Amino acid sequence: MQDRQRVVVKIGSSLLANAEHLTLRYAFMHGVMEDIARMREDGVDVVLTSSGSVAIGLSTIGKTPETAGLLDKQAAAACGQPLLMHAYKQIAQEYGFDIAQVLVTLEDLEDRRRFLNVKNTISRLLEHGILPIVNENDSVTTQEIKVGDNDRLAAKVAQMIQADEFVMLTSIDGLYDRNPDDPDAQHVPEVSDVSEYLEVTSQVSELGSGGMLTKMRAANMAQNAGVTTRIGEGLVDRPITAILSGERRHTRCVAIGDPDSSWRIWLTDRLVQVGGLVVGPDAAERLSAGRTAIGREDIVSVQGEFTKGDVLHIFDEAGEELARGMSNFTAAETLLLCRNPDQSPFDLLGYSAAARIISAENMAILKDHHLPWDAPEDDVIMVE
């Protein structure tokens, strides 16, 4: 473990960009960077995940959030990203430190090797006293290959660097037990089980891509890695340190006390579902009892067009998700192996391999604190 405390801070488009003029809120940015400078002076390593490139680039191409299509948003991101980074750099230099841009895509976080490359880059920047600013590379992503919200992206970064605290700044002072516009809504100061609040957290801001629902999902990802999450208001003085010190009201999401290894955390917390397997009752019982390999004889159906190295979601026949694990084969190879149980992998595939679809060491059994995914209804192929 690192000696210095590490904090990941996430700020969204609704805080960074003026909704009417689609321009940067420089006063807000100054407040954030001044607070980060204060934390750095106290020996804290900070990583900032920042939205905003699309929002502030829309005016450059003459579009609004309501009229912009996917191609417009990609172009807006290309226009807005340098404006955003330039502003951050100029303000950071006023407080005596420098910043670095780290643009990532979904594949950078879902592929293990690329995930580790991003981790190494961020770690090296921190070692040199530079503030990494992480954002999704919206100029090249499409709807099908997007993380989709910077809340979960930031949670991935918190997992990646083994952060101590994860702070999400938003437009309100935390989570409420219902729509905060409801006069009977009650502030929730602490959350242990985020699943209790998934049904009541569905609003999305005008400029942002996620609301409190994505924040709850992101908080769960951070919890699973032993990271405490705090959700609070950003448009105030000392937006970060006042939350961390407990001086200002916010919602604290309690970390899991004994998290899994970084490998199993990476296996478990996915951003998209690329494929899945439905297993029979014997395999389901073994999985419920503990970690086990998945052989071709265990599989009832194959879901999605996955490739070797993709992490698959494993369901029982009732649709309950049991585990997640890295596939040793493509979807086509898996089907071929399952439909020909008496033939060797070499005869079927042309190369030597064990007939285990997922090896035990590459498997993570879901626990009560994990949020399960629904089994897909489309693109399902039965083995028999």
Q: Does the residue 269 lie in any domain?
A: no
Which among 21, 80, 28 has a CA at the least distance from the CA of 54? 80
Instruction: Give the Cα separation of 2 and 162 in Å (integer).
Output: 9
- Of 264, 295, 319, which marks where a domain is finished? 264
Residue 27: which residues within 8 A CB-CB, separation 6 or more? Answer: none
What's the CATH number where 335 sits? 2.30.130.10
Split into its structural domains, the chain has a count of 2
Q: Does the residue 305 lie in any domain?
A: yes
The whole-model pTM stands at 0.91
φ, ψ for residue 336, nearest 5 deg: -65, -45
Residue 251: which residues within 8 A CB-CB, separation 6 or more? Answer: 174, 175, 187, 188, 189, 190, 191, 230, 231, 232
Based on the fold, state whether residues 121 and 22 are members of the same structural domain.
yes
Based on the fold, state whether residues 158 and 20 are members of the same structural domain.
yes
Q: Does the residue 287 lie in any domain?
A: yes
Which among 200, 193, 196, 177 has a CA at the least distance from the CA of 254? 193
The CA radius of gyration of the chain, in Å to the nearest whole number, is 22
Based on the fold, state whether residues 190 and 301 are members of the same structural domain.
no
Q: Does the residue 165 lie in any domain?
A: yes
193: left (phi over 0), alpha (psi -120 to 50) or beta: beta
Q: Does the residue 299 lie in any domain?
A: yes
Per-residue pLDDT of the chain (384 residues; tens, 9 = 90+): 457 899 999 998 889 988 888 889 999 999 999 999 999 999 999 999 998 888 899 989 998 888 888 899 889 999 999 999 999 999 999 999 999 999 999 899 999 999 999 999 999 999 999 999 999 888 876 554 455 578 999 999 999 999 999 999 998 999 998 888 888 989 999 999 998 888 777 654 444 445 788 899 999 999 999 999 999 999 999 999 999 999 999 999 999 888 889 999 999 999 989 999 999 999 999 998 887 899 999 999 999 999 999 999 999 999 999 999 999 999 999 999 999 999 999 999 999 999 999 999 999 999 888 999 988 887 788 887
Based on the fold, state whether residues 66 and 86 are members of the same structural domain.
yes
- Of 264, 299, 327, which marks where a domain is finished? 264
Based on the fold, state whether residues 179 and 325 are members of the same structural domain.
no
Q: Does the residue 79 lie in any domain?
A: yes
What's the CATH number where 93 sits? 3.40.1160.10
In this structure, what DSSP letter does residue 197 have? Answer: G
Based on the fold, state whether residues 100 and 208 are members of the same structural domain.
yes
Instruction: Give the Cα separation of 81 and 52 in Å (integer).
Output: 8
Burial of 3 from C-beta contacts in 10 A (0-12 / 13-18 / 19+)? exposed
- Of 237, 264, 291, which marks where a domain is finished? 264
Based on the fold, state whether residues 108 and 227 are members of the same structural domain.
yes
Based on the fold, state whether residues 41 and 96 are members of the same structural domain.
yes
Based on the fold, state whether residues 98 and 224 are members of the same structural domain.
yes
Contacts of 145-149 with C-beta under 8 Å, sequence gap 24+, read 145/105, 145/106, 145/107, 146/106, 147/105, 147/106, 147/109, 147/271, 148/209, 148/210, 148/271, 149/208, 149/209, 149/210, 149/214, 149/218
Instruction: Give the Cα separation of 10 and 229 in Å (integer).
Output: 11
Residue 232's SS3 state is strand
Based on the fold, state whether residues 246 and 318 are members of the same structural domain.
no
**What is the dihedral sign for C-alpha 165, 170, 173, 179?**
negative
Instruction: Give the Cα separation of 123 and 234 in Å (integer).
Output: 26
Burial of 186 from C-beta contacts in 10 A (0-12 / 13-18 / 19+)? exposed
**What is the dihedral sign for C-alpha 29, 35, 41, 43?**
negative
Instruction: Supply the range of the domain harboring residue 53.
Output: 5-264
Instruction: Give the Cα separation of 261 and 244 in Å (integer).
Output: 26
Instruction: Give the Cα separation of 179 and 185 in Å (integer).
Output: 7
Do β-strands 294-295 and 311-315 pair in parallel, antiparallel, or remain unpaired?
Answer: unpaired
Based on the fold, state whether residues 329 and 244 are members of the same structural domain.
no
Based on the fold, state whether residues 236 and 308 are members of the same structural domain.
no
